[in-house]
Amino acid sequence: MAWDSPSDDGGRDASRQGTLGDDLERSVAYAEQLMISINRARSRLRTFRLVQVALFFVGATMAVTLALSVSLSPAGSAGSELQPFTIYLPIMAGIVGVAGGLTFFVGPLRRQYESDLMTTIEITRAVREVLPAVAKRENWTEIRHGTMRARLSRFPISDRSGI
Amino acid sequence: MAVDDYWEAVRTRWSRSTVLANVDYAASVPNHFKVARNLNIFAPPRIPLAVTGMRGAGKTTLHKALRGRLTIGQSEDRLESPKKEAEVILARTPSGKRRFQLVVIPGQKDSLPGQRAVNAHFKGGRFPLGVIHVVSWGYSKIWDAESARSEIDALPVTAGESHIDRVRKYNLELELGDFRLTRELLQDCWQDRNPAVWLIIAVAKVDLFRGDLSEAGRYYLPASNPNHDSEFAKELRGFVNFLGEGLMRRLAVLPVSSLPERYAHGNSAIESSGDFDLSSRLAVNLSNTIGDFCGLG
């Protein structure tokens, strides 16, 4: 990651210390990096969800087909009654396995997504709160203040805002 | 209308409204603008109205109060509004039923939901016919108290000043900045409009400063001598001058107390002197003014 967390050096590295305005800009840059990960994770979660829905429909269709083929097969042909089971059951087991495997990946990905989102929201909320006062005290130019506000306007207010 | 007459009318309306906040005021205020829930989704066009203001000023609470959804006396667990709140409301007025699209624009305009709301309601030729801009004389809620503390501590200290006074000073500065942003938005979308638009500055949370309403009025209202205007009043006067009194025929500054509750920051607090009657009278006064400004009186 190009930017370190603003608190990584604990403020000990004097060469990196600047004005509070610089800190705010570093914080927003860190939030922007997090936002890239958040968007990537969101896209993956959406793909997993689509695959899960597709697997559900395939499984359901196969179950219905299996039930129909058993009920419609002619009576007395014992071998042909078992044939659909031998074809479909391994496939359905595979589907269940893939769906289960996806859940295994989705859980940690979702937790990481939620954690990154909350961090981003907290950082940008703090920056929004103090930005007007800091910009005024440090005599920011209009362009610097406007750019910062435009950067902030890409972030949600809370996890209920949607992104 | 001459300049003095224009602002004199606004000041008179404020003075008449503040009488309703007197502790010994007993009479009830007739409601000409009764709000109901809109159940007809295929209803004809609606009058677009917007509620603006800085974070924590009380926009959501006022929005709920206007829709009659607040349970007075029961403080709710309130959170920062995550996105714009919009609802179609139906108003029963002496001149018939009218539908309004009432939208609350998030106080954090430099956020994703804030930008979306601004683009949807103030850009691309769209504009609200009326705006209720909520201010609270420095008593707005600070959602990120930890971050604000360092800025509040950095403010110059004045003798005899309490902690709450410093919090208010900090909030008033932000409130002024927010009004400047709102002013820019409204000037862009309202200039050269044909239908007369209107603006109400709703001074919220008056239950916290019921005894200082004259001073609050002097802060928000342009004075008879422009040299005595506060920074906020200068902005308001400049806004009207920019758009012209013809377009801004309807402007009011009104007291509001949607949900009386104490104001706390750190270890300091101010107790509310409000009650259900105060909230009710001021809400009716605001509703009636909205109806009046929409030509429904």
Asked if residue A75 has pLDDT above 50, the reply is yes
Neighbour-count burial for B214-242, b at 16+ CB within 10 Å, e otherwise: eebbbbbbbeeeeeebbebbebbbebbee
Residue B253 three-state SS: strand
CA distance B180 to chain A (A): 12
- Which residues of A are less than 8 Å from B108 in CB distance? 128, 157
**What is the value of pTM for the model shown?**
0.85
CB contact under 8 A, B82 and A160: yes
Domain span at residue A138 reads 20-152
CA distance B64 to chain A (A): 19
Residue A132 included in any domain: yes
Residue A8 included in any domain: no
| Nearest one of A147, A124, A146, A145 to A30, comparing CA atoms | A124
**Residue bearing the bigger pLDDT, A89 or B2:** A89
Give the containing element (helix H, strand E) for B89. Answer: strand B85-93
Residue A134 included in any domain: yes
CB contact under 8 A, A161 and B143: no
Q: How many residues does chain B have?
A: 297
CB contact under 8 A, B82 and A137: no
In total, the C-beta contacts within 8 angstroms joining chain A to chain B are 75
Residue A113 included in any domain: yes
Number of compact structural domains in chain A:
1
Residue A136 included in any domain: yes
Asked if residue A118 has pLDDT above 60, the reply is yes
Could you read off the pLDDT tens digit of each residue along chain B, which spans 297 residues? 555 689 999 999 999 999 998 877 877 788 877 777 777 777 776 889 999 999 999 998 898 888 776 555 555 555 666 666 777 777 777 777 788 888 999 999 899 999 999 999 999 889 999 999 999 999 999 988 888 888 898 888 888 889 999 999 999 999 999 999 999 999 999 987 767 799 999 999 999 999 999 999 999 999 999 999 999 999 999 999 999 888 888 999 999 998 888 999 888 899 999 888 899 899 999 988 998 888 765
CB contact under 8 A, A158 and B79: yes
Cα(B179)–Cα(B182) distance, integer angstroms: 5
The CATH number corresponding to B3-293 among 3.30.365.10, 3.40.50.300, 3.40.640.10, 3.40.1170.20 equals 3.40.50.300
Residue A6 included in any domain: no
Asked if residue A9 has pLDDT above 50, the reply is no
Please give the angle made by the CA atoms of A10, A16 and A20, to the nearest 5 degrees: 80
ipTM of the complex: 0.83
CA distance B167 to chain A (A): 13
- Which residues of B are less than 8 Å from A159 in CB distance? 82
- Which residues of A are less than 8 Å from B142 in CB distance? 129
